[in-house]
Amino acid sequence: MELWQQLKEIALALFDSQKLMTTLSQPEYVLAGFIMLNLIVFTETGLLIGFFLPGDSLLVTTGLVFYNLIHVQGLSWWLLPALLITLSIAAIIGDSVGYAIGYRAGPRIFNREQSFFFRKNHLLAAQEYYEKHGPFTIVVARFMPILRTFAPVVAGVGRMNYRKFLLYNIGGGIGWVFSMVLIGYVITPVLEKPLQKVFGAGFLLQNHIEKLIIIVVLASIAPMVLKFVRAKLLKRRKSDVVQIL
């Protein structure tokens, strides 16, 4: 019953990075944290309803939390590799489930009506990206919110060879989890002291986690935004050329 209560508390704090960090930083919440974190990573990458979950921010926050648990509160160092391994597995399985959904549903999935739990426009955006970039989309999409939920589904619909998909899936899943978690994990020892020289000895990164998350998320979506802007500019130029002719 206590575990269930802890899971509920973590779930309620998901969209409040400061509260989430405070909750997960309690040593007695480690097991519940492991369970919830893996469930969220799996859901965001494997189920169409998971597109709204805070993947990048969650992983960065987790890195910050586990640095605190290990280096400040003295918990065992093995928590970090255990976390990285389980989250990577959850991400890989999640994408495989997404692929299976797309493979089984086939092209008819594009005929479904849009709803809160099914965003057809996101699926179409993923399809467009996949058509332009091919299998490498499975890797790149990991670092793009929303797109990472729908990219494996599109790969399944397109009947991408599963062995090939799995190769990209494993590479992308491990790369995404390790990079996001380790950014959070190393940022305190790397940046906190230099920033304290600028902002004063009382400056603590954990008190500015929202700003850090915004920077990470912006960095994640930057490629997608740049590509969108570039496509718009190219389309406008073509339109101008046609008008001149």
Q: What Cα–Cα distance (Å) separates residue 234 from each residue in 95, 133, 229, 241? A: 32, 17, 9, 11
User: Which pLDDT does position 88 carry in this prediction?
Assistant: 96
User: Which pLDDT does position 80 carry in this prediction?
Assistant: 94
In a domain, 113, yes or no: yes
In a domain, 50, yes or no: yes
User: Which pLDDT does position 245 carry in this prediction?
Assistant: 56
In a domain, 236, yes or no: no
In a domain, 119, yes or no: yes
User: Which pLDDT does position 81 carry in this prediction?
Assistant: 94
In a domain, 192, yes or no: yes
Annotate 54-69 with three-state secondary structure: CHHHHHHHHHHHHHHH
User: Which pLDDT does position 215 carry in this prediction?
Assistant: 73
In a domain, 85, yes or no: yes
- Total domain count, the chain: 1
202 φ, ψ (degrees, to nearest 5): -85, 0
Q: Smallest Cα–Cα separation from 54: which of 37, 66, 34?
A: 37
Task: Tell me the two tokens of residue 130.
Answer: 């996949």
User: Which pLDDT does position 191 carry in this prediction?
Assistant: 74
Task: Tell me the two tokens of residue 91.
Answer: 């991400």
User: Which pLDDT does position 110 carry in this prediction?
Assistant: 59
Q: What is the pLDDT along the chain (245 residues), one digit of tens a residue?
A: 588 899 889 888 887 777 888 888 888 999 999 999 999 999 888 776 766 777 788 898 899 889 889 988 888 889 999 999 999 999 999 999 988 988 887 666 655 665 544 555 656 666 666 666 667 778 888 887 777 887 888 888 777 888 988 999 999 999 999 998 998 898 877 777 777 777 777 777 666 666 777 776 676 666 666 765 776 677 676 665 555 55
Q: Which domain holds residue 140?
A: 3-207
User: Which pLDDT does position 37 carry in this prediction?
Assistant: 92
CA 144, distance to chain mean position in Å, is 7
In a domain, 232, yes or no: no
In a domain, 17, yes or no: yes
